[in-house]
Structure 1
Amino acid sequence: MGNNKASKSVVIDYDAIANQESFKALVRRKNSFLWLMTAIFLAAYMLLPVLTSYTKILHQKAFGEITWVWVYSAGLFIMTWTLCHLYVAKANSFDKEAKAIIAEYENGGGRR
């Protein structure tokens, strides 16, 4: 059912939080991290069709009958998992910083 505890009514001034320098710094760090991750991901994935269509580099044999295109494609899976794990770890640190910013706001740091 519902929560029987009386919940306190908290009014949050989101504009005040958005104007805090610590929040702005967090947003800058988060955006630069996300743009970097996006650029790496897109570059690696877009390089595969370019290398297979316009060059013969990946068509050469790597191990027995396995060509480099298979190795590169397997590497894309590994890269994707690695980027996902890196993102989760970084997101957890961003969440901790966000909680600290909320605590700063609640302690009067973001109010005018």
Structure 2
Amino acid sequence: MAQKEWIPSGASRIDFEQVADSDQFRQFLKRKRKFLVPMTIFFMVFYFLLPICTSYTKFLNTPAIGDISWTWIFAFSQFVMVWVLSAIYVRKANSFDEEAEQIIRDQLKGE
């Protein structure tokens, strides 16, 4: 896949230190962190809940549907959760990429 060209022609180089010091970039990082940290915490808790609950409790070993226990349902839900979180992340990461490119464009205009 071809990379999008977003650096204007005639721009000699990008001063990434200037970009990193800009208020616009700091706000961008804050928004990105505000999305990534809760999502990561949710994923880790949901992921480690299965081995913890199966090791230290008995409620997941009870039948849910016929002979299928809650453990199997919870384990299957983890696969679904991974696909859903991946789709959410890809969509959000694309918007983060566009925003980062816009920040760099704005910094280049300010040269």
State which of 104, 107, 110 in structure 2 corresponds to 1:105: 107
Unaligned runs of 5+ in 2: 1-8
The alignment status of 1:42 with 2:49, answered yes or no, reads: no
State which of 10, 13, 33 in structure 2 corresponds to 1:11: 13
> TM-score by structure 2 length?
0.86
Which residue does 1:65 correspond to in 2? 67
Which residue does 1:86 correspond to in 2? 88
Residues 11 and 108 in structure 2, CA contact (< 8 A), matched pair in contact too: no
- Report the residue type matching 2:43 in the other structure: F
> TM-score by structure 1 length?
0.86
Label 1:93 to 1:9 Cα distance change in 2 as closer, same or farther (>3 A): closer
Partner SS, residue 13 of structure 2 = coil
- Report the residue type matching 1:80 in the other structure: V
Partner SS, residue 14 of structure 2 = coil
- Report the residue type matching 1:61 in the other structure: P
Unaligned runs of 5+ in 1: 1-6
Point out the structure with max Rg over C-alpha.
1
Partner SS, residue 29 of structure 1 = helix
Partner SS, residue 12 of structure 2 = coil
The CA distance in 2 between the partners of 1:96 and 1:13, in whole Å, is: 19
Runs of at least 4 residues off by over 4 Å: none
